[in-house]
Amino acid sequence: MIILGEIRTCLLHNSRPLPKAVVSELLGLKPGKRVRVTDRPVNLSVSPRLAVGVDCRLASEPSAKARGIGTVVSRAMVTGGVVLQASAHASLTRAASDIRQGWSHYARRVGTVEVIGKADAGQLALGHRTGGTGGVLDLGAIAEYLLDVVQMRPQLDHTTAIRARPTWVRWTAACADGLTEPVVRLRLEDEVSRTIEVVVAADQLGLAQRFCEDVALHDWLLTTLGSTIDQAARGDDARTDVLAAVVERLVHLWMPGAHVHPAMQTLWDKLERQPGFGRQWGAQVAQIRDLVALRTLRALEQARQRETADY
């Protein structure tokens, strides 16, 4: 049927970027399972998959009776030793029977939630993106819990040089017959929350998760740079060292599509046209570098004036 997912993205609570060996220790959340590490073109480390059993109502819009039973898969990722993400998702399929099966039946299908009820795929996808009401499947809570687990690990010193808010992305992926090219719709709900709707060919459905995680990462980078610029404009805590830390630690991480399947590059091309991720990023980076340069020049001028006054 469809895939539902949710992603939390934030700054790793550490004073310096972590070396990849330490990141591997940090993400070693499942004994005996290795952390996947990709070094090119930017370091990306991914934890082993963790499974959570669920048996709950499913949100649907328009509202219809739906119950989901099965397992949700979650994982944590660190990019560049700096940015932490936690992602949870589940594939929804129609149950063969309205009778609940033994737990062993669901445990054999890790990452699959079977749907009992009248809600169809479109209703379930829209219900997930709009949030539903209390008591329904909450993938965000699963991702948030994993985020907290990683942030409390002893490898971190719990000090940060950049003030950055977490963001979250709620996404759905569906397949459609006769689709000529994949479709992506990105919606900015408020300052920190977004929704993504992806429609792809059936054989590309499993690629959507990594694409949405990549969008979430780059959206967080955009949001964080924008917030830092706003702080500087207001005169809040955006000292030259904070601005320099943003340039040093975040700017080089901007590589849309670097870790997604080539088949998903078409979706990134659409986002580059509208809303124009790359243009906005380039403008923000230039603005921050100008702020650093101006504040450095101002500090040098103030130092020169003090030296002149001492004579």
| 3-class state of residue 155 by DSSP | coil
Question: What is the percent of the chain with per-residue pLDDT over 90, rounded to a whole number?
Answer: 75
Residue 116's alpha-carbon distances to 88, 108, 127, 250, 267, in angstroms, are: 21, 18, 16, 44, 32
> How many whole angstroms separate alpha carbon 114 and alpha carbon 95?
5
Would you give per-residue pLDDT tens digits along the chain (311 residues)? 799 999 999 999 999 999 999 999 999 999 999 999 999 899 999 999 999 999 999 999 998 999 999 999 999 999 999 999 999 999 999 999 999 999 999 999 999 999 999 999 999 999 999 986 667 999 999 999 999 999 999 999 999 888 889 999 999 999 988 888 889 999 999 999 999 999 999 999 999 999 999 999 999 999 999 988 888 777 654 567 788 888 899 999 999 999 999 989 999 999 988 888 899 999 999 998 888 888 778 777 777 888 777 66
66-79 and 44-46 strand pairing: antiparallel
Report pLDDT digits (tens) over 128-160: 999 866 679 999 999 999 999 999 999 999 998
User: What pTM, to 2 d.p., does this model score?
Assistant: 0.93
Find out whether 114 and 70 touch, Cβ atoms under 8 Å.
Answer: yes
- For the chain, the domains span 2-206, 220-305
